[in-house]
Amino acid sequence: MKQFISVEDVPGVPQMVDIALDYKKNPFKEKGLGENKTLGMIFLNPSLRTRLSTQVAARNLGMEVVVFNIDKEGWALEMNDGVVMNGNTTEHVKEAAAVMGQYFDILSIRTFPGLKNKEEDYTEKYINQFIKYAGKPVISLESATLHPLQSLTDAITIREQWQQTRKPKVVMTWAPHVKPLPQAVPNSFAQWMNAWDEVDFSIAHPEGYELDPKFSGNAKIYHNQQEALEGADFVYVKNWSSYTDYGKILNSDPAWMVSNDTLKNTNTAKVMHCLPVRRNVVIADEVLDGPQSIVIPEAGNRTWAAQAVISEILKNR
Ligand code: CP
């Protein structure tokens, strides 16, 4: 594996899940793999889980880790080529990425979308500039349109929580939020579930919240949440802003919040969310604090997803 930006970079979803679950059983089995290697973690945006779990994963493999909050501690970056830099930006990504490529064996980056310019976000301009100029393998810690470390985590969590031979019914449902959020997590979850033949996947959202079809693919789409959730084994809850009316909030209907009542016709579904989650806006306390929530073990699996990804890149360099 040369980089980890989307599901298209991995040898296969089941293979990655197997590798991750092997590390979960024995985290230090390849402690020497990353010896004398350094992972650079570059953040243009906040993070709790990605930041901490990826550091733990790299250290489990014997790597050194350097975390750089470039948005707060670095020079203001210019991402556009060929501009006259007489404004607020101080350093061009051409130099910044190339210099960081001199220090690190693997570069990992979080770059959220602006949610203003759909074309800029959906061409993944920022992460692609880092890939272009770093000269080292790049791992996405969440980009403008995808969050593959989260999606691999979600696949790991579904596999380990599902003990039956039939395919589980996995439904991703939109839920309300007070702020316009990126489509990265739902795009990525849809992309990974569609690429994985161990699940039966569908999506529920209000009209106007259709995802980019290149990610929603052949998933069945419902505009009626109850109809979608009938018999669900896993309910993946997430808010996103509109893709079609780009970056806008079109619906705030609290009836889409996931409560115990929402789950009444599911197969006692396990409830997942990438976190952070706004309680009693996206998911009710009674669900998050109840027996159907698996959000904490899900977050715990972030470490094994990151370890699987880092190890595959180290082994294939
Ligand atoms: N789910 C997730 O990526 O969490 P953080 O934003 O805290 O890293």
What CA–CA distance (Å, rounded) separates 303 from 32?
Answer: 18
Q: Over 80: is that where the pLDDT of 52 sits?
A: yes
Q: What is the C-alpha R_g of the chain?
A: 19
pTM, two decimals, is: 0.98
Q: 275 C-alpha vs ligand 1 centroid, how far in Å?
A: 6
Around Cβ 160, how many Cβ atoms within 10 Å?
17
Residues 6+ apart with CB under 8 A from 245: 208
What ipTM did this prediction achieve? 0.99
| pLDDT tens string 9-48 | 999 999 999 999 999 999 999 999 999 999 999 999 999 9
- What's the confidence (pLDDT) of residue 119? 96
- What's the confidence (pLDDT) of residue 183? 98
Domain 150-299 has CATH 3.40.50.1370: yes
Q: Over 90: is that where the pLDDT of 75 sits?
A: yes
State yes or no: 275 annotated in a binding site.
Answer: yes
Q: Where are the domains of the chain?
A: 7-146+301-315, 150-299
Whole-number percent of the chain with pLDDT over 70: 100
Which of 49, 56, 303 to probe ligand 1 with, by most ligand atoms within 8 A of CB? 49
Q: Over 80: is that where the pLDDT of 163 sits?
A: yes
Residue 25's identity, in one-letter code, is K
CA nearest to 262, candidates 244, 250, 280: 280
| pLDDT tens string 247-261 | 999 999 999 999 999
**The CATH number fitting domain 7-146+301-315, selected from 3.20.20.70, 3.40.50.1370, 2.130.10.10, 3.40.50.740:** 3.40.50.1370
The protein residue with its alpha carbon nearest to ligand 1, atom 1, reads 274
The torsion angles phi and psi of 258, rounded to 5 degrees, stand at -90, 115
Q: Over 80: is that where the pLDDT of 317 sits?
A: no
- What's the confidence (pLDDT) of residue 25? 98
- What's the confidence (pLDDT) of residue 188? 98
∠ CA 54-55-56 to the nearest 5 degrees?
90
> Which ligand 1 atom is at minimum distance from the Cα of 147?
3
The protein residue with its alpha carbon nearest to ligand 1, atom 3, reads 50
| pLDDT tens string 201-238 | 999 999 999 999 999 999 999 999 999 999 999 999 99
CA nearest to 157, candidates 309, 9, 296, 12: 296
CA nearest to 278, candidates 231, 235, 228, 239: 239
The torsion angles phi and psi of 94, rounded to 5 degrees, stand at -55, -45
Beta pairing, strands 106-110 & 38-43: parallel
Residue with tokens 């009674």: 286
Residue 150 beta carbon below 6 angstroms from any ligand 1 atom: yes
Beta-bridged to residue 110, according to DSSP, are 43
- What's the confidence (pLDDT) of residue 14? 98
Q: 46 C-alpha vs ligand 1 centroid, how far in Å?
A: 8
Domain 7-146+301-315 identical in fold to domain 150-299? yes
* Tokens describing residue 29: 């089995």
H/E stretch holding 272: strand 270-272
Mean pLDDT of 140-166: 98
Q: 132 C-alpha vs ligand 1 centroid, how far in Å?
A: 25
| pLDDT tens string 117-136 | 999 999 999 999 999 999 99
Q: Over 80: is that where the pLDDT of 103 sits?
A: yes
- What's the confidence (pLDDT) of residue 285? 98
CA nearest to 42, candidates 10, 74, 87: 74
∠ CA 11-14-16 to the nearest 5 degrees?
55
